[in-house]
Structure 1
Amino acid sequence: SEDVVASLARWGKQSIYGKALFAQVAEWKALDKYTVEMKLKEKSAIVLISLAVPNNFGAIYPKEVAEKFAPEVKATEYIGTGPFKLAEWKPDQYIRMVRFDEYKSRNEAPNGYGGGKTAYLDEVRFQPVPEVATRVAQVETGELDFADDLNLDAYDRLKKSSNLRPIVSKPYYWLVAVLNKKEGLMTNQKLRQAWQAAIDIEPIMKNVAGGRAEFYRMDASLAMAEIVSWHTKLSGLPWNEHNKAKVQKLLQEAGYKKEPIRFMTTQEYKWMYDFALLTKQQLEDLGFNIDLQVVDWATLVKRRNNPKEYDAFTTGIGAFYDPTHAVFLTATWPGWTTDEDIQKLQGELARETDPKKRMALWEQQTKQFYEKVPVIRYGDLFGLRAIRNTTKGFNEKTERIRFYNVWVEK
């Protein structure tokens, strides 16, 4: 219990999800060796889902490790609780994980990211292969058992192989231009609305998806269709309007005088660069001046935390499992959504426990999103993975890759 208390206390100061949850926590302590107690300040709808999220999650470290690294410092001692343990890490070469024989699995059947987790494999080796074409070739030859984030134009080729199968990864991301609302041009709501009104989303998505309909979806819901509990079907939203007259009116009301809008992207993710380039063309056709800044991904991630460095940047929004976990609606994520009305509804969603009332609040927040325009929501893009036929037991339905319950037939 002391490991759990120390680990989640650190997580509550570090993670977006942890911060939201611990804002509601009055007391957090160990009662005995195997029992912890969390007392809340008020009713909460987000305790279990916040503890269950598969990314940015509340991992349990030994107490001495959790307390050794301050919340703002990245931990460099990797001792966790999973079915595999870190054996070796050679930067830019591989990360080698080996079975943790003392791991005790839950007794239930596997269920998404939960349930039973059996480590059939002796070893899992994660190998960074920067060139996409090389990744495709290596999974074809059997040098890799699994390959991720492949270019969509490899799909037909992979489908023809008798030794592997391609996986269309859903959910993957919805494409997003994140707008800097702390400083600079995009603090102007009218200018943000003009960007939203300008874009013609389907040709952008079609291009990014390599012309293949199976790799993109047109959808205005903030939660993807696969997240059934929170997927909305509201009509009349100002999404995908490409309305020239509305854009001109909003640009005039914004007082925009063709100042350059600094839009950061990267070629390390081809889909990011492609949608940024097409966005620049569409916006400039309607009177915007876009300064497209192409940098490596590490630079983009660093610069997006500095409000003086940019006006917009590209990324993708993955699956989130509760409305309070939509990072683009938080004040702490780059882009900084500090709007009081948005934060008020987020607070109400965190406190309301009735599912029907929560859905009504989420629909209200979706309409509010399209009025306030904290970010620009494009369409849904699906990913491409490939797996050898000899690799068995892999769960294709989870966004995050997991190799427990997986084995390889020789």
Structure 2
Amino acid sequence: MQKFRKIRVFALFAMVLMLAWVTAGCGGSASAPPAGSENGSTTSPQEQGTPKSGGKLTVGVSADLTKLDLHGSTVLSDRIPLLHVQEMLVTIDEKMNIIPMLAQKWETSEDGKSVTFALRKGVPFHNGKEMKAEDVKYSIERFMQVAARKGEFSMVDSIEAKDDYTVVFHLKQPSGVFLASLANPYNPAVIMPKGIAEEQSGTITKPIGTGPFQFEKWEQGKQLVLKRFYQYASPEGDTSGFGGAKKPYVDEVIFKPISEATVRLTALETGEIDLATDILPKDVKRLETSSNIVLAKETSMNWGYLFFGFKKPPFDNLKMRQAVAYALNKQEIVDVATWSLGKVASSPVYTETEWYTEAHAKDYQQDLEKAKQLLKEAGYNGEKIVISTAKAYDHHQKAALTIQNQLKKIGMNVEVEILEWASFISERSNSGDYQLAVSHITPRPDPNQIYYAYTHSSSNFNGYKNPKMDELLDKGVTTVDQGERKEIYSQVQDLLREDLSFTATYYYPVIEAHQSYLKGYQSWSAGYPRLWNVWIDK
């Protein structure tokens, strides 16, 4: 094994990679507790007084959960609450650097083909059992079987529980993305007790983890209830991202789905809820003048997209996809969908990152005559085209309706289908059963985690296949040198722009608001509300 100094070099390398992505009932009940941005969002927790324990915190979110099994979920509305319940081996900090979570340190062999993790000792699951190496082995092996992004772990040959607190990942080849794959919050590789899925008939219906809050109940369409886990074993270090010191103060957290943004805001203003996510850009100025509401607004790497369905006509035809690309006016989409608070996206790779190159700056420019000519060459005769989107996020609908109007200008017969969030995910997004789909994607620690998931033939949902793309993406996984990887993802973006599996459309801001009596809350540009280190002072 290398000396730990070598490992710090490896970790530093990974951290440099990650920094480029920011400027985006089965469990036992807890015992009794032991005795004893903007307009305020930039105030540190230390400046907000002494923390107080107790109380109930109600969060108004724009979409309900779709499932309770994070290994099987790619949905943000599942991750937001359940990442308070379950944790990963390593995680990301505020700036997308990789930091320890359930592992306290790791080291890599001289040949780069094995990575050894030393686990934190004395970390309890919500069912009272201690988290150990066999739980990690079980969890990651299960993830590699059932997860949507299991392809990200294609470099893993085997996992060894060397002893109770040591886990060794044996890799097929050195990898530049292995740590980022473990830390990726999208479809997260959370650690759960060995055998839990089998005990719950093959899927997770009562999640158990090591997080600061434990699952209580889910009443679909109404609420998800979490309880404070008094035995929570917090990581050390400064609080940052999903990691560092975390303390649960409130006794109960309720996530209440309120899909209509105006209703969600009214619930905040009337005191029905304490925190509201996904505030509409149009309401920002109004909230900035409120004396009882604190507005938290951050620049974000969340990016909107337009996906093309390859599984049925007409967008299995490249000329049809090109016609759409030349019909789009992305600045108009930004202005309508974000009230000009966002910005145009030409690539999933954010402009202020180290990965950004000229390849990511190139984009189609609106040319209506060229778009009309491409439609003619494709043989389009006015057949109905459907844009599928969801009502959970206002900017999705606004973007879809704006795109509809733009496509009508070139003679396309376009309708917009607005579905409930769960239906959009299961019946359209994850099945690939659509012609055009509008939604958005949260940031990832590494560009491979966007491109591989959405364009590799082994993992994408929309049916896109190109052996050249697969070859580039496979090379990106095995390459360690950052300069070489940067060039690979430039080539990937060039090919994506040619093939048009999807196009990025805009970067959307993170806008949240909460009652002034809610203290310690810090918004995050990654778009995840974090309810540890938060207390109620009233």
TM-score, normalised to structure 2, is 0.70
Deviations 1:125-169 (A, max 9, x none): 212234322321232243322101222222122111112222224
Q: Cα–Cα, structure 1 residues 182 and 93, in superposed 2: closer, same or farther, change >3 Å?
A: closer
Which residue number corresponds to residue 216 of structure 1?
Answer: 342
Residue 4 (structure 1) shift: 0.8
Which residue number corresponds to residue 420 of structure 2?
Answer: 296
Correspondence 1:396 to 2:523:
yes
Matches within 5 A, 1:8-407: 8-21=140-153, 23-68=154-199, 74-171=203-300, 173-210=302-339, 213=340, 215-225=341-351, 228-234=353-359, 237-239=362-364, 241-304=365-428, 305-307=430-432, 309-326=433-450, 327-331=453-457, 332-397=459-524, 398-407=526-535
Q: Cα–Cα, structure 1 residues 348 and 341, in superposed 2: closer, same or farther, change >3 Å?
A: same
2-side partners of 1:5 and 1:399: how far apart?
A: 29
The amino acid of 1:45's aligned partner reads G
- Please give the secondary structure, in 2, of the residue aligned with 1:187: coil
Deviations 1:168-212 (A, max 9, x none): 2432632212111233211112211111111111112211123xx
Q: Cα–Cα, structure 1 residues 44 and 315, in superposed 2: closer, same or farther, change >3 Å?
A: same
Number of aligned residue pairs: give it: 401
The amino acid of 1:298's aligned partner reads A
Q: Cα–Cα, structure 1 residues 298 and 93, in superposed 2: closer, same or farther, change >3 Å?
A: closer
Deviations 1:33-83 (A, max 9, x none): 11111111111111111111223111111112044468xx64112111111
Deviations 1:355-398 (A, max 9, x none): 11111111221122111110122111224210222222223123
Q: Cα–Cα, structure 1 residues 280 and 346, in superposed 2: closer, same or farther, change >3 Å?
A: same
Mapped contact 2:275–2:513 kept (Cα < 8 A): yes
Deviations 1:316-361 (A, max 9, x none): 1221221221132233332133222221111111111111111111
- Please give the secondary structure, in 2, of the residue aligned with 1:171: coil
Q: Cα–Cα, structure 1 residues 252 and 330, in superposed 2: closer, same or farther, change >3 Å?
A: same
The amino acid of 1:26's aligned partner reads D
Residue 122 (structure 1) shift: 2.4
Which structure has more helix as a fraction of its residues? Answer: 1
The amino acid of 1:408's aligned partner reads I
TM-score, normalised to structure 1, is 0.91
Q: Cα–Cα, structure 1 residues 127 and 267, in superposed 2: closer, same or farther, change >3 Å?
A: closer
Residue 273 (structure 1) shift: 1.8
2-side partners of 1:236 and 1:143: how far apart?
A: 44
Unaligned runs of 5+ in 1: none
Residue 233 (structure 1) shift: 4.9
Q: Cα–Cα, structure 1 residues 35 and 377, in superposed 2: closer, same or farther, change >3 Å?
A: same
Mapped contact 2:346–2:504 kept (Cα < 8 A): yes
Mapped contact 1:6–1:66 kept (Cα < 8 A): no
Which residue number corresponds to residue 137 of structure 2?
Answer: 5
* More displaced stretch, 166-175 vs 110-119: 166-175
Residue 117 (structure 1) shift: 1.6
- Please give the secondary structure, in 1, of the residue aligned with 2:173: coil
TM-align CA RMSD: 2.2
Q: Cα–Cα, structure 1 residues 321 and 200, in superposed 2: closer, same or farther, change >3 Å?
A: same
Mapped contact 1:18–1:50 kept (Cα < 8 A): no
Q: What percentage of residue pairs aligned between the two structures are identical?
A: 28
Mapped contact 1:54–1:400 kept (Cα < 8 A): no
2-side partners of 1:170 and 1:13: how far apart?
A: 36
Mapped contact 2:185–2:444 kept (Cα < 8 A): no
2-side partners of 1:131 and 1:4: how far apart?
A: 39
Mapped contact 1:216–1:381 kept (Cα < 8 A): yes
- Please give the secondary structure, in 1, of the residue aligned with 2:509: strand
